[in-house]
Structure 1
């Protein structure tokens, strides 16, 4: 989806990995498109990145009417991958490569922007009902920022039960398992659901910077109760993570190796230097073009980029 910050805020995303810790990330509520409530977890003023994960929207929970669904018009991306994961509801993805793909709970949409892509997201025709899920951006390493754009849809992901919790490995690697979705740096994104109260201990790579998004129910970590609707930063240096979950709890574990490079984010663009973002901005102003193409299946106007003051430089 699109970053709808009207100011087109440009932020620097330094790597803040350190020893194991536990802190709530300051988040903010917003409205996407024509009325979809979201919680913007990343980037935050005090936490720009968790491993290569540079953006996280918690969508809903809400209920949509058939005449007032999601409608996020055509918009561009560079230098990132988008990960869409739903708990309830449905979305329809359309992009400039010609893909048109509906996503439902338990399925993964993964879009690689690379050098440049544009897409739209809508509710499927006639859809109404509950809507709840997550959308992430993964920053690409410098050597892959200009990779060719791509899209994939996955319905067969690694799933297992551990100590009473059902785990789905959405992207990356965990406990000797690997998602079929292509990523470009070592990372993890795992959905953990407890239908009954349980305690589980997961092995995690000590070099991974970790976060935990609390989506439903009650979760305890390191003797502290974590609040629903919050993202928690866990630092790095852990070789295991113990979660105590109440019945009907759901969390998303995310993280990975820090990229070890500058990561800048402005509007819907991610890159290692400001010139890359400015070039993408200039190309989008000439939309449609060879770099971004067009989403021919979307019936509506493309989103307009906020203006970028050329005198503003990141320190």
Structure 2
């Protein structure tokens, strides 16, 4: 999804890794476009990053009718990867590389923006029904922020049963397994589901900063009850994580090694310094061009970038 906040918002993204902890991340509820409810977990004023993850929208749950579909017009990205993961529903991705791809539950759309890409997201033609899912951004390390743009669709992801839970490794590494999705720093994104409830213990790298997004039901960590619709920051330094999930619960474990680099976010752009963000805005203002090509399959108007005031100096 695009960040549809017209203000743009200056967002500093310091790395906040440290000891193990358990804190609810203040989140913001809003409605995108013609009526898609979302919970914006990241970035938050108190929590900018979890590892390299710098943006997280919890989409729905809601129900869409055919006459009120998702329709997010052509918009750009730089310096990041987008991760789209659905629990219910479907979305149609179209991008400036020429890809058109419907994503459904259990499938991963991974778009690498790198130096620059633009895309749109819509409901498939005639779609109606429930919609529920997550969309993340992963900040690229500085040495890869100008990498060649790419798009990948994965339908065969590591999936296993453990202690009565179903675990799907969406991206990264977990419990000796590795997702086929190409990422650029050590990280994890895993969907964990409990149909009947139970307790699960997973080994995690002590170097990983971790978070837990509660998407359905409730979870318990270290005797604390975690509520649906919330994101919890777990800090860094654990070698294992024990989760107790109530029946019907579903959570997303995310995190990774902190980048230890400045990460600045403006609208849909991520960069290491303000000059990069200013140039991205200027290039989008002159779209289409060699950096941001056309999404010829999308019929609507592109989104406009909010102005980045040159008098505002961002700090990493």
**Which category of TM-score, normalised to the shorter sequence, fits these structures?**
over 0.9
Partner residue of 1:303? Answer: 303
The within-5 A match list for 1:75-114 is 75-114=75-114
Which whole-Å CA distance do the structure 2 matches of 1:285 and 1:153 have between them? 29
Cα deviation, residue 197, structure 1: 1.4
Partner residue of 1:261? Answer: 261
The within-5 A match list for 1:127-276 is 127-276=127-276
1:52 aligns with 2:52: yes
Q: Deviations over 1:273-314 (max 9, x none)?
A: 111000000000000000010100000110011111111111
Which whole-Å CA distance do the structure 1 matches of 2:44 and 2:274 have between them? 19
- For residue 21 of structure 2, give the secondary structure of its aligned residue in structure 1: coil
Which whole-Å CA distance do the structure 2 matches of 1:152 and 1:136 have between them? 15
- For residue 39 of structure 2, give the secondary structure of its aligned residue in structure 1: strand
The aligned length equals 315
Cα deviation, residue 30, structure 1: 1.1
- For residue 22 of structure 1, give the secondary structure of its aligned residue in structure 2: strand
> What's the TM-score, normalizing by structure 2?
0.99
1:121 aligns with 2:121: yes
Cα deviation, residue 33, structure 1: 1.5
Which whole-Å CA distance do the structure 2 matches of 1:254 and 1:219 have between them? 15
- For residue 303 of structure 1, give the secondary structure of its aligned residue in structure 2: coil
Which whole-Å CA distance do the structure 1 matches of 2:309 and 2:142 have between them? 25
> What's the TM-score, normalizing by structure 1?
1.00
Partner residue of 2:6? Answer: 6
Which whole-Å CA distance do the structure 1 matches of 2:274 and 2:296 have between them? 30
- For residue 206 of structure 1, give the secondary structure of its aligned residue in structure 2: coil
- For residue 56 of structure 1, give the secondary structure of its aligned residue in structure 2: strand
Partner residue of 1:34? Answer: 34
Q: Deviations over 1:38-89 (max 9, x none)?
A: 0000000000000000000000000000010100000000000000000000
RMSD: 0.5
Partner residue of 2:68? Answer: 68
Which whole-Å CA distance do the structure 1 matches of 2:99 and 2:65 have between them? 26
Cα deviation, residue 6, structure 1: 1.6
